[in-house]
Structure 1
Protein backbone atom coordinates (compact mmCIF):
# COMPACT_ATOMS: atom_id res chain seq x y z
CA UNK A 1 0.00 0.00 0.00
CA UNK A 2 1.33 3.39 -0.90
CA UNK A 3 1.80 5.32 2.34
CA UNK A 4 2.09 9.04 2.68
CA UNK A 5 1.73 11.57 5.42
CA UNK A 6 -1.56 13.32 5.91
CA UNK A 7 0.11 16.53 4.77
CA UNK A 8 0.09 15.18 1.24
CA UNK A 9 -3.49 14.01 1.28
CA UNK A 10 -5.90 14.76 -1.54
CA UNK A 11 -9.49 13.65 -0.88
CA UNK A 12 -11.90 12.62 -3.61
CA UNK A 13 -13.47 15.56 -5.35
CA UNK A 14 -10.92 18.06 -4.08
CA UNK A 15 -10.67 20.50 -1.27
CA UNK A 16 -12.99 23.38 -0.55
CA UNK A 17 -11.51 26.72 0.42
CA UNK A 18 -10.71 26.82 4.13
CA UNK A 19 -11.37 30.50 4.58
CA UNK A 20 -14.46 31.55 6.52
CA UNK A 21 -17.49 32.30 4.41
CA UNK A 22 -20.71 33.94 5.51
CA UNK A 23 -24.05 32.27 5.05
CA UNK A 24 -26.76 33.53 2.73
CA UNK A 25 -29.39 35.68 4.39
CA UNK A 26 -32.11 33.32 3.16
CA UNK A 27 -31.60 30.96 6.09
CA UNK A 28 -34.11 31.40 8.88
CA UNK A 29 -32.63 33.37 11.79
CA UNK A 30 -34.75 32.07 14.66
CA UNK A 31 -32.16 32.15 17.45
CA UNK A 32 -30.38 34.42 19.83
CA UNK A 33 -27.00 35.93 19.01
CA UNK A 34 -25.21 34.83 22.19
CA UNK A 35 -23.03 31.75 22.46
CA UNK A 36 -25.29 28.70 22.87
CA UNK A 37 -25.07 26.87 26.18
CA UNK A 38 -23.94 23.34 26.95
CA UNK A 39 -27.62 22.44 27.27
CA UNK A 40 -28.20 23.33 23.60
CA UNK A 41 -25.29 21.11 22.56
CA UNK A 42 -26.40 18.21 24.78
CA UNK A 43 -29.91 18.41 23.36
CA UNK A 44 -28.34 17.53 20.00
CA UNK A 45 -25.82 14.92 21.21
CA UNK A 46 -27.60 13.39 24.18
CA UNK A 47 -25.70 12.63 27.38
CA UNK A 48 -25.92 8.83 27.69
CA UNK A 49 -22.45 8.20 26.26
CA UNK A 50 -20.63 11.14 27.85
CA UNK A 51 -17.89 10.97 30.46
CA UNK A 52 -17.44 13.67 33.11
CA UNK A 53 -15.48 16.63 31.74
CA UNK A 54 -12.38 16.01 33.86
CA UNK A 55 -8.93 16.96 32.60
CA UNK A 56 -8.20 13.27 31.93
CA UNK A 57 -10.72 10.46 31.54
CA UNK A 58 -10.23 6.79 30.77
CA UNK A 59 -12.65 4.50 28.94
CA UNK A 60 -12.43 1.43 26.71
CA UNK A 61 -8.67 1.28 27.12
CA UNK A 62 -8.14 4.87 25.98
CA UNK A 63 -7.31 8.07 27.81
CA UNK A 64 -8.98 11.28 26.67
CA UNK A 65 -7.62 14.69 27.66
CA UNK A 66 -9.96 17.64 27.20
CA UNK A 67 -8.47 21.11 26.65
CA UNK A 68 -8.36 23.82 29.31
CA UNK A 69 -8.35 26.49 26.61
CA UNK A 70 -9.96 26.70 23.20
CA UNK A 71 -6.64 26.79 21.35
CA UNK A 72 -5.46 23.52 22.95
CA UNK A 73 -6.22 20.12 21.35
CA UNK A 74 -8.43 17.32 22.53
CA UNK A 75 -6.13 14.29 22.88
CA UNK A 76 -6.93 10.59 22.91
CA UNK A 77 -4.34 7.89 23.56
CA UNK A 78 -4.83 4.16 23.13
CA UNK A 79 -1.78 1.94 23.59
CA UNK A 80 1.10 3.74 21.91
CA UNK A 81 -1.17 5.71 19.54
CA UNK A 82 -2.17 9.32 20.20
CA UNK A 83 -4.48 11.44 18.07
CA UNK A 84 -5.39 15.07 18.68
CA UNK A 85 -7.92 17.51 17.25
CA UNK A 86 -7.76 21.26 17.88
CA UNK A 87 -11.08 23.11 18.03
CA UNK A 88 -11.92 26.25 16.04
CA UNK A 89 -11.99 28.10 19.37
CA UNK A 90 -10.22 30.69 21.48
CA UNK A 91 -9.83 31.66 25.10
CA UNK A 92 -10.53 29.98 28.40
CA UNK A 93 -13.35 27.54 29.05
CA UNK A 94 -16.68 29.38 29.31
CA UNK A 95 -18.91 26.58 30.57
CA UNK A 96 -18.59 23.02 31.87
CA UNK A 97 -21.71 20.94 32.36
CA UNK A 98 -22.10 18.18 34.93
CA UNK A 99 -22.87 15.77 32.06
CA UNK A 100 -19.48 16.31 30.43
CA UNK A 101 -19.58 19.19 27.92
CA UNK A 102 -16.92 21.93 27.95
CA UNK A 103 -17.79 25.07 25.95
CA UNK A 104 -15.37 27.63 24.49
CA UNK A 105 -15.79 30.80 22.47
CA UNK A 106 -15.51 30.25 18.74
CA UNK A 107 -13.43 32.26 16.30
CA UNK A 108 -16.55 34.31 15.48
CA UNK A 109 -18.97 35.90 17.96
CA UNK A 110 -21.87 33.85 16.57
CA UNK A 111 -20.00 30.53 16.91
CA UNK A 112 -19.10 28.45 19.95
CA UNK A 113 -17.06 25.26 20.19
CA UNK A 114 -17.23 22.37 22.63
CA UNK A 115 -15.45 19.18 23.66
CA UNK A 116 -16.86 15.93 25.02
CA UNK A 117 -15.17 12.69 26.06
CA UNK A 118 -17.24 9.61 25.20
CA UNK A 119 -17.63 6.21 26.82
CA UNK A 120 -16.08 4.40 23.84
CA UNK A 121 -12.74 6.10 24.52
CA UNK A 122 -13.25 8.63 21.76
CA UNK A 123 -14.36 12.24 21.75
CA UNK A 124 -16.56 14.82 20.08
CA UNK A 125 -15.26 18.17 18.85
CA UNK A 126 -18.38 20.25 18.33
CA UNK A 127 -19.30 23.68 17.09
CA UNK A 128 -22.55 25.62 17.21
CA UNK A 129 -23.71 28.21 14.69
CA UNK A 130 -25.75 30.69 16.72
CA UNK A 131 -27.54 32.53 13.95
CA UNK A 132 -27.99 32.90 10.19
CA UNK A 133 -24.89 35.10 9.88
CA UNK A 134 -22.54 32.54 11.43
CA UNK A 135 -19.70 31.22 9.19
CA UNK A 136 -20.72 27.97 7.53
CA UNK A 137 -17.22 26.46 7.60
CA UNK A 138 -15.24 25.57 10.71
CA UNK A 139 -11.74 24.06 10.60
CA UNK A 140 -10.02 21.64 12.98
CA UNK A 141 -6.34 20.70 13.12
CA UNK A 142 -5.83 16.92 13.16
CA UNK A 143 -2.59 15.49 14.55
CA UNK A 144 -1.79 11.83 13.85
CA UNK A 145 1.15 9.45 14.44
CA UNK A 146 4.01 9.64 11.94
CA UNK A 147 3.24 7.80 8.71
CA UNK A 148 -0.53 7.72 9.24
CA UNK A 149 -2.77 8.19 6.21
CA UNK A 150 -6.41 9.18 5.83
CA UNK A 151 -9.16 8.06 3.46
CA UNK A 152 -12.67 9.39 3.06
CA UNK A 153 -15.62 7.01 3.01
CA UNK A 154 -18.50 7.27 0.57
CA UNK A 155 -20.65 8.31 3.52
CA UNK A 156 -18.33 11.24 4.24
CA UNK A 157 -16.40 9.99 7.25
CA UNK A 158 -12.62 9.67 7.50
CA UNK A 159 -10.69 6.44 8.11
CA UNK A 160 -7.13 6.63 9.50
CA UNK A 161 -4.50 3.96 8.80
CA UNK A 162 -1.21 3.71 10.71
CA UNK A 163 2.16 3.30 8.99
CA UNK A 164 1.70 -0.49 8.98
CA UNK A 165 -1.56 -0.16 7.04
CA UNK A 166 -3.95 -1.17 9.83
CA UNK A 167 -6.96 0.91 10.81
CA UNK A 168 -6.49 3.16 13.86
CA UNK A 169 -9.96 4.70 13.81
CA UNK A 170 -11.35 7.85 12.28
CA UNK A 171 -14.00 10.53 12.20
CA UNK A 172 -17.52 9.18 11.87
CA UNK A 173 -19.88 10.39 9.15
CA UNK A 174 -20.45 14.10 9.89
CA UNK A 175 -23.81 15.32 11.11
CA UNK A 176 -25.48 18.62 11.97
CA UNK A 177 -28.84 19.34 13.61
CA UNK A 178 -30.88 22.51 13.90
CA UNK A 179 -32.79 23.73 16.96
CA UNK A 180 -35.75 21.48 16.05
CA UNK A 181 -33.59 18.37 15.72
CA UNK A 182 -33.80 18.46 11.92
CA UNK A 183 -30.74 17.18 10.04
CA UNK A 184 -28.77 19.87 8.18
CA UNK A 185 -26.56 18.89 5.20
CA UNK A 186 -22.88 18.82 6.16
CA UNK A 187 -19.57 17.43 4.88
CA UNK A 188 -15.81 17.26 5.50
CA UNK A 189 -12.96 18.40 3.30
CA UNK A 190 -9.28 17.84 4.04
CA UNK A 191 -6.17 19.83 3.21
CA UNK A 192 -2.91 18.86 4.85
CA UNK A 193 -3.69 18.35 8.54
CA UNK A 194 -6.77 20.58 8.45
CA UNK A 195 -10.26 19.08 8.57
CA UNK A 196 -13.00 21.53 7.57
CA UNK A 197 -16.65 20.81 8.22
CA UNK A 198 -19.14 22.73 6.11
CA UNK A 199 -22.79 23.11 7.17
CA UNK A 200 -25.41 24.09 4.58
CA UNK A 201 -28.64 25.39 6.15
CA UNK A 202 -31.63 26.47 4.12
CA UNK A 203 -34.52 28.87 4.63
CA UNK A 204 -36.29 26.39 6.94
CA UNK A 205 -33.30 25.85 9.25
CA UNK A 206 -33.90 26.89 12.86
CA UNK A 207 -30.85 28.18 14.68
CA UNK A 208 -28.75 27.37 16.62
CA UNK A 209 -27.23 24.55 14.55
CA UNK A 210 -24.93 22.01 16.24
CA UNK A 211 -22.36 19.97 14.26
CA UNK A 212 -19.95 17.27 15.35
CA UNK A 213 -16.69 15.67 14.24
CA UNK A 214 -16.62 12.46 16.35
CA UNK A 215 -13.40 10.46 16.81
CA UNK A 216 -13.86 6.69 17.19
CA UNK A 217 -11.19 4.00 17.60
CA UNK A 218 -11.30 0.97 15.30
CA UNK A 219 -13.53 0.38 12.31
CA UNK A 220 -15.46 3.28 10.79
CA UNK A 221 -18.43 2.05 8.78
CA UNK A 222 -18.50 3.13 5.17
CA UNK A 223 -16.47 2.59 2.02
CA UNK A 224 -12.66 2.61 1.89
CA UNK A 225 -11.18 3.64 -1.45
CA UNK A 226 -7.89 2.55 -3.05
CA UNK A 227 -6.21 4.39 -5.91
CA UNK A 228 -4.72 2.64 -8.95
CA UNK A 229 -1.29 2.03 -7.47
CA UNK A 230 -2.77 0.71 -4.23
CA UNK A 231 -5.26 -1.43 -6.18
CA UNK A 232 -2.38 -3.08 -8.01
CA UNK A 233 -0.69 -3.80 -4.67
CA UNK A 234 -3.89 -5.26 -3.20
CA UNK A 235 -4.34 -7.38 -6.34
CA UNK A 236 -0.95 -9.00 -5.87
CA UNK A 237 -0.99 -9.49 -2.10
CA UNK A 238 -3.95 -11.13 -0.33
CA UNK A 239 -1.83 -11.42 2.82
CA UNK A 240 -1.50 -7.64 2.90
CA UNK A 241 -5.30 -7.31 2.78
CA UNK A 242 -5.69 -9.70 5.73
CA UNK A 243 -3.28 -7.62 7.80
CA UNK A 244 -4.90 -4.39 6.69
CA UNK A 245 -8.23 -5.21 8.29
CA UNK A 246 -7.01 -7.38 11.18
CA UNK A 247 -7.43 -4.44 13.57
CA UNK A 248 -11.21 -4.55 13.19
CA UNK A 249 -13.15 -5.59 16.31
CA UNK A 250 -14.67 -9.11 16.37
CA UNK A 251 -16.37 -10.46 14.36
CA UNK A 252 -15.36 -8.00 11.63
CA UNK A 253 -11.67 -8.88 11.86
CA UNK A 254 -12.61 -12.39 10.74
CA UNK A 255 -14.68 -10.95 7.88
CA UNK A 256 -11.66 -9.01 6.64
CA UNK A 257 -9.37 -12.03 6.80
CA UNK A 258 -11.90 -14.35 5.17
CA UNK A 259 -12.57 -11.85 2.40
CA UNK A 260 -8.90 -11.11 1.72
CA UNK A 261 -8.69 -13.44 -1.28
CA UNK A 262 -11.93 -12.07 -2.73
CA UNK A 263 -10.76 -8.48 -2.26
CA UNK A 264 -7.53 -9.30 -4.06
CA UNK A 265 -9.46 -11.01 -6.88
CA UNK A 266 -11.71 -7.99 -7.42
CA UNK A 267 -8.67 -5.72 -7.21
CA UNK A 268 -6.97 -7.81 -9.90
CA UNK A 269 -10.04 -7.44 -12.14
CA UNK A 270 -10.20 -3.70 -11.43
CA UNK A 271 -6.52 -3.31 -12.24
CA UNK A 272 -7.05 -5.18 -15.53
CA UNK A 273 -9.99 -2.88 -16.31
CA UNK A 274 -7.90 0.23 -15.49
CA UNK A 275 -10.18 0.88 -12.54
CA UNK A 276 -9.77 0.78 -8.75
CA UNK A 277 -11.13 -1.26 -5.85
CA UNK A 278 -13.32 -0.03 -3.03
CA UNK A 279 -14.13 -2.04 0.10
CA UNK A 280 -17.32 -1.74 2.14
CA UNK A 281 -16.73 -1.75 5.90
CA UNK A 282 -17.55 -3.67 8.05
CA UNK A 283 -18.78 -6.33 5.57
CA UNK A 284 -15.47 -6.14 3.62
CA UNK A 285 -17.21 -6.65 0.30
CA UNK A 286 -15.10 -5.32 -2.61
CA UNK A 287 -16.29 -3.50 -5.75
CA UNK A 288 -14.71 -1.84 -8.75
CA UNK A 289 -15.01 1.93 -9.19
CA UNK A 290 -13.59 4.72 -11.33
CA UNK A 291 -13.23 8.46 -11.02
CA UNK A 292 -12.69 10.43 -7.82
CA UNK A 293 -9.75 8.97 -5.86
CA UNK A 294 -9.07 6.42 -8.63
CA UNK A 295 -5.99 8.06 -10.14
Structure 2
Protein backbone atom coordinates (compact mmCIF):
# COMPACT_ATOMS: atom_id res chain seq x y z
CA UNK A 1 0.00 0.00 0.00
CA UNK A 2 1.22 3.50 -0.68
CA UNK A 3 0.05 7.08 -0.62
CA UNK A 4 0.70 9.20 -3.67
CA UNK A 5 1.79 12.78 -2.92
CA UNK A 6 -1.28 14.99 -3.02
CA UNK A 7 0.11 17.47 -5.55
CA UNK A 8 1.15 14.71 -7.93
CA UNK A 9 -1.79 12.32 -7.58
CA UNK A 10 -3.52 11.46 -10.81
CA UNK A 11 -7.25 12.08 -10.95
CA UNK A 12 -9.23 8.83 -11.10
CA UNK A 13 -10.24 7.87 -14.61
CA UNK A 14 -13.98 7.92 -15.14
CA UNK A 15 -13.58 5.72 -18.23
CA UNK A 16 -11.69 2.93 -16.44
CA UNK A 17 -13.42 -0.45 -16.48
CA UNK A 18 -14.21 -2.17 -13.16
CA UNK A 19 -11.47 -4.75 -13.72
CA UNK A 20 -8.93 -2.00 -14.49
CA UNK A 21 -9.81 -0.23 -11.24
CA UNK A 22 -9.42 -3.48 -9.29
CA UNK A 23 -6.15 -4.49 -10.94
CA UNK A 24 -4.70 -1.05 -10.28
CA UNK A 25 -5.20 -1.85 -6.58
CA UNK A 26 -4.13 -5.52 -6.61
CA UNK A 27 -1.61 -5.59 -9.42
CA UNK A 28 -1.70 -8.51 -11.86
CA UNK A 29 1.40 -10.49 -10.85
CA UNK A 30 -0.45 -12.73 -8.38
CA UNK A 31 -3.58 -13.28 -10.49
CA UNK A 32 -3.97 -16.75 -11.99
CA UNK A 33 -5.25 -16.43 -15.55
CA UNK A 34 -8.20 -18.50 -16.69
CA UNK A 35 -11.83 -19.21 -15.89
CA UNK A 36 -13.79 -22.08 -14.43
CA UNK A 37 -11.48 -24.26 -12.34
CA UNK A 38 -7.78 -23.41 -12.35
CA UNK A 39 -4.90 -25.00 -10.45
CA UNK A 40 -1.83 -23.72 -8.62
CA UNK A 41 0.42 -24.90 -5.77
CA UNK A 42 -1.50 -28.16 -5.31
CA UNK A 43 -4.88 -26.41 -5.00
CA UNK A 44 -7.86 -26.03 -7.33
CA UNK A 45 -9.73 -22.75 -7.40
CA UNK A 46 -13.23 -22.57 -8.90
CA UNK A 47 -14.28 -19.14 -10.15
CA UNK A 48 -18.03 -18.46 -10.24
CA UNK A 49 -19.98 -17.58 -13.38
CA UNK A 50 -22.74 -16.08 -11.24
CA UNK A 51 -22.44 -13.99 -8.10
CA UNK A 52 -24.90 -16.39 -6.47
CA UNK A 53 -22.22 -19.09 -6.60
CA UNK A 54 -19.26 -18.92 -4.22
CA UNK A 55 -15.62 -18.77 -5.16
CA UNK A 56 -13.97 -21.89 -3.75
CA UNK A 57 -10.53 -23.41 -3.25
CA UNK A 58 -9.72 -27.05 -2.55
CA UNK A 59 -6.43 -28.42 -1.28
CA UNK A 60 -6.21 -32.02 -0.19
CA UNK A 61 -9.37 -32.82 1.74
CA UNK A 62 -10.13 -29.18 2.62
CA UNK A 63 -12.49 -26.94 0.65
CA UNK A 64 -13.07 -23.27 1.48
CA UNK A 65 -15.95 -21.30 -0.06
CA UNK A 66 -16.67 -17.58 0.07
CA UNK A 67 -19.90 -16.17 -1.35
CA UNK A 68 -19.58 -12.80 -3.09
CA UNK A 69 -21.78 -9.86 -2.03
CA UNK A 70 -23.24 -9.62 -5.53
CA UNK A 71 -26.04 -10.69 -7.86
CA UNK A 72 -26.51 -12.00 -11.38
CA UNK A 73 -24.31 -13.25 -14.19
CA UNK A 74 -20.68 -12.31 -14.65
CA UNK A 75 -20.55 -8.86 -16.25
CA UNK A 76 -16.96 -8.85 -17.48
CA UNK A 77 -13.62 -10.66 -17.37
CA UNK A 78 -10.17 -9.19 -17.83
CA UNK A 79 -7.42 -10.92 -19.77
CA UNK A 80 -5.48 -11.04 -16.50
CA UNK A 81 -8.13 -13.16 -14.77
CA UNK A 82 -10.43 -10.78 -12.86
CA UNK A 83 -14.16 -11.66 -13.04
CA UNK A 84 -16.57 -8.80 -12.26
CA UNK A 85 -20.18 -9.00 -11.04
CA UNK A 86 -22.80 -6.47 -10.04
CA UNK A 87 -23.06 -5.77 -6.33
CA UNK A 88 -26.28 -5.81 -4.34
CA UNK A 89 -26.26 -2.01 -4.52
CA UNK A 90 -25.95 0.15 -7.63
CA UNK A 91 -22.85 1.89 -6.27
CA UNK A 92 -20.99 -1.36 -5.49
CA UNK A 93 -19.46 -4.01 -7.74
CA UNK A 94 -17.80 -7.26 -6.70
CA UNK A 95 -15.16 -9.48 -8.28
CA UNK A 96 -13.22 -12.71 -7.99
CA UNK A 97 -9.59 -13.60 -8.69
CA UNK A 98 -7.73 -16.89 -8.39
CA UNK A 99 -4.21 -16.31 -7.09
CA UNK A 100 -0.92 -17.97 -7.96
CA UNK A 101 -0.53 -19.39 -4.42
CA UNK A 102 -3.65 -21.53 -4.87
CA UNK A 103 -5.88 -19.13 -2.97
CA UNK A 104 -8.30 -16.44 -4.09
CA UNK A 105 -9.45 -12.88 -3.67
CA UNK A 106 -13.11 -11.90 -3.26
CA UNK A 107 -13.14 -8.18 -3.95
CA UNK A 108 -15.62 -5.32 -3.82
CA UNK A 109 -15.46 -1.77 -5.14
CA UNK A 110 -17.24 1.22 -3.62
CA UNK A 111 -17.97 3.39 -6.64
CA UNK A 112 -18.89 6.61 -4.82
CA UNK A 113 -19.63 8.19 -1.45
CA UNK A 114 -23.17 6.75 -1.46
CA UNK A 115 -21.92 3.15 -1.46
CA UNK A 116 -22.59 1.14 1.72
CA UNK A 117 -19.37 0.70 3.68
CA UNK A 118 -20.18 -2.81 4.94
CA UNK A 119 -20.08 -5.84 2.64
CA UNK A 120 -20.76 -9.37 3.87
CA UNK A 121 -19.42 -12.69 2.62
CA UNK A 122 -20.70 -16.12 3.64
CA UNK A 123 -17.74 -18.33 4.56
CA UNK A 124 -18.11 -22.11 4.31
CA UNK A 125 -15.45 -24.14 6.12
CA UNK A 126 -14.70 -27.87 6.37
CA UNK A 127 -16.72 -29.74 8.98
CA UNK A 128 -15.43 -29.13 12.49
CA UNK A 129 -13.22 -26.19 11.48
CA UNK A 130 -13.01 -23.11 13.70
CA UNK A 131 -11.95 -19.54 13.04
CA UNK A 132 -9.84 -17.15 15.10
CA UNK A 133 -9.07 -13.46 14.51
CA UNK A 134 -5.48 -12.22 14.81
CA UNK A 135 -4.46 -8.97 16.49
CA UNK A 136 -3.68 -7.59 13.03
CA UNK A 137 -7.25 -8.26 11.88
CA UNK A 138 -6.76 -11.37 9.76
CA UNK A 139 -8.64 -14.63 10.28
CA UNK A 140 -6.97 -18.01 10.93
CA UNK A 141 -8.88 -21.26 10.27
CA UNK A 142 -8.13 -24.45 12.23
CA UNK A 143 -9.40 -27.89 11.21
CA UNK A 144 -11.22 -30.23 13.60
CA UNK A 145 -7.91 -31.60 14.94
CA UNK A 146 -6.56 -28.10 15.67
CA UNK A 147 -4.23 -27.88 12.67
CA UNK A 148 -3.98 -24.58 10.78
CA UNK A 149 -5.61 -24.79 7.34
CA UNK A 150 -5.08 -21.18 6.27
CA UNK A 151 -7.05 -17.98 6.58
CA UNK A 152 -8.05 -14.57 5.35
CA UNK A 153 -5.09 -12.23 5.30
CA UNK A 154 -5.16 -8.90 7.15
CA UNK A 155 -7.86 -6.85 5.39
CA UNK A 156 -6.92 -3.89 3.23
CA UNK A 157 -8.60 -1.21 1.15
CA UNK A 158 -7.20 1.40 -1.25
CA UNK A 159 -8.74 4.52 -2.71
CA UNK A 160 -8.40 5.69 -6.32
CA UNK A 161 -5.06 7.35 -5.58
CA UNK A 162 -3.60 4.22 -3.99
CA UNK A 163 -3.93 5.59 -0.45
CA UNK A 164 -4.77 3.01 2.25
CA UNK A 165 -8.24 3.24 3.77
CA UNK A 166 -8.88 1.79 7.27
CA UNK A 167 -10.85 -1.45 7.14
CA UNK A 168 -11.68 -4.38 9.42
CA UNK A 169 -13.42 -7.76 9.55
CA UNK A 170 -16.26 -8.77 11.83
CA UNK A 171 -17.29 -12.42 12.12
CA UNK A 172 -20.79 -13.53 13.08
CA UNK A 173 -21.49 -17.22 12.65
CA UNK A 174 -20.60 -18.14 9.06
CA UNK A 175 -20.61 -14.54 7.83
CA UNK A 176 -17.54 -12.33 7.46
CA UNK A 177 -18.32 -8.62 7.11
CA UNK A 178 -15.68 -6.18 5.94
CA UNK A 179 -16.22 -2.53 6.86
CA UNK A 180 -14.36 0.26 5.05
CA UNK A 181 -13.94 3.39 7.19
CA UNK A 182 -13.87 6.29 4.75
CA UNK A 183 -13.52 10.01 5.42
CA UNK A 184 -13.83 13.20 3.38
CA UNK A 185 -10.33 12.75 1.95
CA UNK A 186 -11.01 9.39 0.32
CA UNK A 187 -10.94 9.31 -3.49
CA UNK A 188 -13.42 7.00 -5.19
CA UNK A 189 -13.59 4.27 -6.34
CA UNK A 190 -12.31 2.34 -3.31
CA UNK A 191 -11.28 -1.32 -3.65
CA UNK A 192 -11.19 -3.82 -0.75
CA UNK A 193 -10.44 -7.49 -0.63
CA UNK A 194 -10.77 -10.57 1.59
CA UNK A 195 -7.93 -12.86 0.38
CA UNK A 196 -7.81 -16.57 1.21
CA UNK A 197 -4.33 -18.07 1.66
CA UNK A 198 -3.43 -21.65 2.55
CA UNK A 199 -1.05 -22.28 5.46
CA UNK A 200 0.27 -19.72 7.90
CA UNK A 201 -1.28 -16.28 8.21
CA UNK A 202 1.06 -13.76 9.82
CA UNK A 203 -0.23 -12.20 13.01
CA UNK A 204 -1.02 -13.12 16.60
CA UNK A 205 -3.18 -16.13 17.39
CA UNK A 206 -5.00 -16.03 20.73
CA UNK A 207 -6.08 -19.04 22.79
CA UNK A 208 -8.74 -19.01 25.53
CA UNK A 209 -8.30 -20.57 28.99
CA UNK A 210 -9.54 -24.01 27.99
CA UNK A 211 -7.31 -24.07 24.91
CA UNK A 212 -4.36 -22.76 26.94
CA UNK A 213 -4.79 -25.63 29.41
CA UNK A 214 -4.81 -28.07 26.46
CA UNK A 215 -1.60 -26.55 25.09
CA UNK A 216 -0.04 -26.70 28.54
CA UNK A 217 -0.71 -30.41 28.95
CA UNK A 218 0.18 -31.59 25.45
CA UNK A 219 3.27 -30.35 23.60
CA UNK A 220 2.51 -32.94 20.91
CA UNK A 221 -0.74 -31.13 20.18
CA UNK A 222 1.22 -27.90 19.62
CA UNK A 223 3.43 -29.66 17.07
CA UNK A 224 0.37 -30.92 15.20
CA UNK A 225 -1.13 -27.44 15.30
CA UNK A 226 1.55 -25.99 13.04
CA UNK A 227 2.62 -29.09 11.09
CA UNK A 228 0.69 -27.97 7.98
CA UNK A 229 2.57 -24.69 7.73
CA UNK A 230 4.82 -24.27 4.68
CA UNK A 231 8.58 -24.70 5.21
CA UNK A 232 10.41 -23.42 7.18
CA UNK A 233 7.50 -22.39 9.42
CA UNK A 234 6.43 -26.00 10.03
CA UNK A 235 9.84 -26.69 11.57
CA UNK A 236 9.67 -23.49 13.65
CA UNK A 237 6.32 -24.52 15.09
CA UNK A 238 7.46 -28.05 15.90
CA UNK A 239 10.74 -26.86 17.43
CA UNK A 240 8.90 -24.31 19.55
CA UNK A 241 6.22 -26.77 20.68
CA UNK A 242 7.85 -27.38 24.07
CA UNK A 243 8.33 -23.64 24.66
CA UNK A 244 4.73 -22.86 23.72
CA UNK A 245 3.54 -25.63 26.03
CA UNK A 246 5.73 -24.28 28.87
CA UNK A 247 4.44 -20.70 28.50
CA UNK A 248 0.89 -22.06 28.29
CA UNK A 249 1.46 -23.93 31.57
CA UNK A 250 2.72 -20.75 33.26
CA UNK A 251 -0.18 -18.73 31.84
CA UNK A 252 -2.69 -21.31 33.02
CA UNK A 253 -1.14 -21.26 36.51
CA UNK A 254 -1.38 -17.44 36.53
CA UNK A 255 -5.02 -17.47 35.45
CA UNK A 256 -4.01 -16.06 32.06
CA UNK A 257 -3.94 -17.34 28.48
CA UNK A 258 -1.30 -17.82 25.81
CA UNK A 259 -0.88 -15.96 22.52
CA UNK A 260 1.44 -17.09 19.72
CA UNK A 261 3.12 -14.75 17.25
CA UNK A 262 3.17 -16.15 13.72
CA UNK A 263 5.41 -16.95 11.87
CA UNK A 264 8.05 -16.71 14.66
CA UNK A 265 5.93 -18.96 16.94
CA UNK A 266 7.02 -17.02 20.02
CA UNK A 267 4.49 -17.49 22.86
CA UNK A 268 3.42 -14.88 25.41
CA UNK A 269 0.96 -14.65 28.27
CA UNK A 270 -2.03 -12.30 28.02
CA UNK A 271 -5.25 -11.55 29.86
CA UNK A 272 -8.58 -9.98 28.95
CA UNK A 273 -10.24 -10.05 25.54
CA UNK A 274 -10.53 -13.65 24.30
CA UNK A 275 -9.01 -15.01 27.54
CA UNK A 276 -12.20 -16.42 29.09
**Structure 2 length as normaliser, TM-score?**
0.94
Partner of 1:228 in structure 2?
209
For 2:248, which of 255, 267, 283 is the aligned residue? Answer: 267
Partner of 2:19 in structure 1?
38
Partner of 1:22 in structure 2?
none
Residues 36 and 130, structure 1, Cα contact 8 Å, conserved in 2: no
Partner of 1:98 in structure 2?
79
Partner of 2:4 in structure 1?
none
Alignment of 1:167-182 (within 5 A): 167-182=148-163
Alignment of 1:1-295 (within 5 A): 37-295=18-276
The Cα shift of 1:246 comes to 0.9
Residues 108 and 134, structure 1, Cα contact 8 Å, conserved in 2: yes
Residues 84 and 144, structure 1, Cα contact 8 Å, conserved in 2: yes
RCO greater where, 1 or 2, for CA within 8 Å and sep 6 or more?
1
Structure 2 distance, partners of 1:77, 1:256, is: 24
The Cα shift of 1:53 comes to 3.4
Partner of 2:8 in structure 1?
none
Residues 131 and 207, structure 1, Cα contact 8 Å, conserved in 2: yes
**Structure 1 length as normaliser, TM-score?**
0.88
The Cα shift of 1:209 comes to 0.3
The Cα shift of 1:31 comes to 6.9
The Cα shift of 1:36 comes to 5.6
Structure 1 distance, partners of 2:212, 2:201, is: 20
The Cα shift of 1:259 comes to 0.7
- Runs of 4 or more off by more than 2 Å in structure 1? 30-36
The Cα shift of 1:80 comes to 1.3
Counterparts in 2 of 1:90 and 1:33: CA distance versus 1, 3 Å:
farther
Gaps of 5+ in 2: 1-10
The Cα shift of 1:32 comes to 8.8
